[in-house]
Every structure is written in C-alpha cells, then in structure tokens.
Structure 1
Amino acid sequence: MKPPTVFMGEMTNREVEAFLVDHQTVIVPTGSTEQHGPHGPLLTDVFVPQEVARRVAPRVGALVAPSINYGLSYPHVGFTGVVNLRIPTFMAVVEDVAASLATAGFTRIVFLNGHYDNTYAIAYACANAADRLPAGVRAFPINYWDGMTADEAGEFFGPTTGLHANRGETSAVMAINPDLVDLDHANAELPPFPAVTNAPAVHTAFFFSTPGSVHRASQSGTWGDAREASVAYGERYLSVVADATVRMLDDVERTFGAMPAR
C-alpha cells in the first residue's frame, strides 16, 4: 500500500481530489537558488521552508505543493551559482501558480517564503492574481520567520548574529540533511556597515535597489558566524519556526475573519 504523504508532487491526482473533500489549504514553499557562504547549499532558502511546510501541513490540514526554487536573487549576482529571475517573471510565476491551485479547488494558498528579497513581490503578485481567483479564495505570503517572538528572532537573527548563511540557517540545513553542509569551510563574516540613523531604511535602499549589493557587502557570502552550526541547534531552529508558522496562519485567518464583509 502506498504510504501517505503531505507532498502534492508525490501524490496522484485522485489523492489530491480526495484530500480536497475535507481540506482546501495548500502551502507553496518559495525560495531562491543562490550562494550561502562557502559552506551552505545553493537551495538553502528552499530546503528550509520546504521542511517547515512538511512539519506544519499535518497541523493545519494542508498539502505542500512543489517548491518555487528560483526567486529574486539580484542582490547576490556576482557569486557563482546564482539564478536570478526578473521581478515581472517571478511575479508571473507566483500569479500563475496561485491561479492554478485555485482552479484545482484550494481556497487557502500560502506562499511560505524562505528568501527575504521575494517578500514584497509575492504579496504584489497575490494582489495581481486576485481577479483570477474564485470568490472566497485567498492567496498570500508569509515568511517562515514572521511569527517568531522578539526573543526567538533575536536568538537566530540580528546585527551580530547575522542574517544569511549564519549559524541558525546553516544548522537548519544540517538538521534536514547534514551531508549538505561543508562545515570544514564554515566561516564568520559581517558586512562593514557604517553607523547610520535608520539601519532598516538604509538597508532597503542599499540591498533592495542595487543588484549585486550582497556581493559587494560580503567577500564570502556569509553574514554571521556559521562555525558553531550543529544538527541540535538546527532542530531547535526548525521547531521554533514551525510553531511560529502555525501561529501566523492562525493569526492571518482570524484577521480575515474579523473584518466585516463589504
């Protein structure tokens, strides 16, 4: 007998139809193909949300659609292995995926994003797709880290903890498959940012508006310290973000439900 799975790509169309009788939520892991330091795999931003989706799906009654492996990686252009989609191309992919899944019968289409640079484009694409979706269908993005508490976020991300190919992200990949990480080449590097009045605003201007910005800011592609990465720390990371994602999905659903129809 065929074992059960949450991954749509491993199911037959009959199995998807049977699922849709009682549940209509689908999670689309969305990431990028780009460098993650000299130690991390190019698909880090796909592997992590895909694993989070696998853990979350049974808890919220969802399936996991095949991942979108290519995204907006223009800040990383200059590093070997980067595959960057133009913004209109990426948005068109998201729109068509949302419309296709809605046609199949899904009414909650969640783009679980693992690559920060994709965030706004996914939201805009979902807005563009709205006219193609049947009444009552919602498509929206969340980043897998969005639901973390301030303390949790501070443990895994930050000015000194790092934001890319750091201990947390590297550990998460190790917890998924330790063979994907080359710890012998794990390193520590932080971009040489000057003191500024409003760091987030400056980072938006520098990173979002400038192709190759990460390549310019980092010699190795690492932003943080990956040398202490471990499977155990990665398991904690994945557990925290899975719980956070469940909370976020509940928050989103309750927010939509609280708004009066107009």
Structure 2
Amino acid sequence: MNKHLLANMTWQEYQSKIKDSILILPIGSTEQHGPHLPLGVDAMLAENMSLAIAEKINAVVAPTVSYGYKSLPASGGGPMFPGTIDLKGATVVSLVSDLLEEFLHDGWKKILMVSCHYENEAFLAEAADLIMRNRTDEFPKILLTNWWDNLDESIMPQIFDEIEFPGWALEHAAITETSMMMHFAPELVREEFIIDEGMEGPPTYQCFPPSPTLIPQSGCLHTARSSTAEKGRLIVGNSTHNIVSFLEKEFFAKVEITD
C-alpha cells in the first residue's frame, strides 16, 4: 500500500497531512499509444511521476484524472482510434476547477498539478487562473508542470543515442514515453509490436474533420526503437530532481534532493 496516495488514507489521516504537506494532482488522458503501449499511458505516467515526486517531499497524491482534452491527430492520433476518450475543453476546465476548489476548501495551501497530456495544459492553466486570479496572498498557491519541460538538455544525447530526437510533437508513444513505461510498468509494454513507422514531420495546421491518412494506421508518430527501462529511469530521475528543486523554491518546502 502506497503511503502517499490519498485514496489509501482515512479522512483523519488525510486531514492530518493538510497543514504541512503538498497536494499533488496527477492529470493524464485515455488515448491510443500505438500497438505497443496501453491506452492509459498518460494517466499512468502522471500518477507514477507524482509518486516519484512524493517520495522526495512531504506530499499527498490525489486520485488521478484519467481523461483529458481532445487528442489532436498530429500529436496523439485524435478521435480516429477507438479507445481515445476525449473531453471538451470546457469540461476539463470545469472538472479541474471543481477539484481545485474542493482541495482549497479542505485547507490545502500548496498544490501541484502534474500533467502528462500535452493538450491539457491550456485548460489546466485556465482552471487555476480562474480560481486564483482574485487572490492576493502568497498562499494558497497552485503550480502546473510536466516531465518534458523539466529535462536537462545534457541528458538528451543519452536518450536519443541511436535515433535522432524528432521534436516533442512526434514523441507521442515514441522513445521517451515507451522508456518511462518500461521503467514504471514493463509488463504493459508490448516490445514485440514496436515498429519503425511514423510521420516525416508534424503539419503546420489543424484540419477538421481530421484526415484519416494524416498519420500511419498504427497510430505511431515516430519510432520507439531504442527505448529502454534505463532511459526511462534517467528521464524520471532527472525531471523529478528538477521539479523538486522548483517546489523547494516556490513552496519553501524543506526537502532533501537525492539522485
């Protein structure tokens, strides 16, 4: 039983954490990730990244939001694939706003949203802004982050040692996400279905309705070949270290950063 998960706590245990802890809200999506990864990748990465952060700080991890904003064709496959379950933007804002209001009502002063679905970010920012824009005190404070913006450039050559980095737009279900899943949940990675298939480059426009020929039928935007659990461990360790560093700055938390 993980001691950081809110869902595993009694209400008294939960209440006892509020004054001196950070509340982490993991947010992902349910969408296709090619033939070799499960539909729940973004939600699984959000929860596991949140737990990795919580291991280094005094934090409670809320139940993961497992649905997100529309997966766009050139960054995730969009509605062309069964199992990609999308929410409208207004729904995401309303859902996350309600959750944040509840946590604030419980007394949380330090909240971190960990997003692992790119299309969510504008709507998560909107939810936080609408709730906090009329507040003038330093706390409560809400932060929003993801793992890819917290990677040091110095580790990129170790991750893309065989395959050239295609840019984040094409890294959906490719080397980084596959490696992280190999690290967190290797039993869910179908390595035998990893293929050398993808797009030459993302389009500079969006088309509605999306063209069924825009991306390969596999749903892969770029190859996941050369993915390893060790690369996943490196990604998680580096991004977690950097996230904990800014939490210390923003929340004045007494944290011990370890490699």
Give the alignment's TM-score, normalised by structure 1: 0.81
Name the aligned partner's letter for residue 230 of structure 1: T
1:160 Cα deviation (Å)?
Answer: 6.5
Identity %: 27
Question: 1:67 aligns to what?
Answer: 64
Which SS does the other structure have where 1:139 is aligned?
strand
Question: 1:167 aligns to what?
Answer: 175
1:103 Cα deviation (Å)?
Answer: 0.9
* Distance in 1 (alpha carbons) for counterparts of 2:57 and 2:152: 20
Out of 113, 119, 122, the residue aligned to residue 120 of structure 1 is 122
Asked if the contact 1:145/1:244 (under 8 Å) is kept, the reply is: no
Question: Which has a greater percent of helix?
Answer: 1
Question: 1:143 aligns to what?
Answer: 146
Question: 1:55 aligns to what?
Answer: 52
1:58 Cα deviation (Å)?
Answer: 3.2
Write the mapping of 1:1-262 to structure 2, written as runs, cut at 5 A. Answer: 5-23=3-21, 25-75=22-72, 76-130=78-132, 136-153=139-156, 156=159, 158-159=165-166, 162-193=170-201, 202=204, 205-206=205-206, 212=210, 216-253=214-251
* Distance in 2 (alpha carbons) for counterparts of 1:11 and 1:105: 17
Q: What does the per-residue CA deviation read over 1:194-231, in whole Å, with 9 as the maximum and x for residues that have no partner? A: 8xxxx8xx3xx43xx75647972343222222233222
Asked if the contact 1:34/1:42 (under 8 Å) is kept, the reply is: yes
Q: How has the CA–CA distance of structure 1 residues 217 and 144 changed in structure 2, closer, same or farther, with 3 Å as cutoff?
A: same
1:105 Cα deviation (Å)?
Answer: 1.4
1:22 Cα deviation (Å)?
Answer: 2.5
Name the aligned partner's letter for residue 240 of structure 2: A
1:57 Cα deviation (Å)?
Answer: 1.1
* Distance in 1 (alpha carbons) for counterparts of 2:212 and 2:124: 21
Name the aligned partner's letter for residue 166 of structure 2: P
Which SS does the other structure have where 2:113 is aligned?
strand
Q: How has the CA–CA distance of structure 1 residues 215 and 47 changed in structure 2, closer, same or farther, with 3 Å as cutoff?
A: farther
1:154 Cα deviation (Å)?
Answer: 6.1
* Distance in 1 (alpha carbons) for counterparts of 2:237 and 2:19: 29
1:142 Cα deviation (Å)?
Answer: 0.8
* Structure 1, unaligned runs of 5 or more: 255-262
* Distance in 2 (alpha carbons) for counterparts of 1:134 and 1:246: 25
Question: 1:260 aligns to what?
Answer: none
Question: 2:256 aligns to what?
Answer: none
* Distance in 2 (alpha carbons) for counterparts of 1:13 and 1:140: 24
Count of aligned pairs between the two proteins:
241
* Distance in 2 (alpha carbons) for counterparts of 1:70 and 1:250: 29
* Distance in 2 (alpha carbons) for counterparts of 1:50 and 1:211: 32
1:248 Cα deviation (Å)?
Answer: 3.6
* Structure 2, unaligned runs of 5 or more: 73-77, 253-259
* Distance in 2 (alpha carbons) for counterparts of 1:5 and 1:221: 37
* Distance in 1 (alpha carbons) for counterparts of 2:208 and 2:248: 35
Q: How has the CA–CA distance of structure 1 residues 155 and 100 changed in structure 2, closer, same or farther, with 3 Å as cutoff?
A: farther
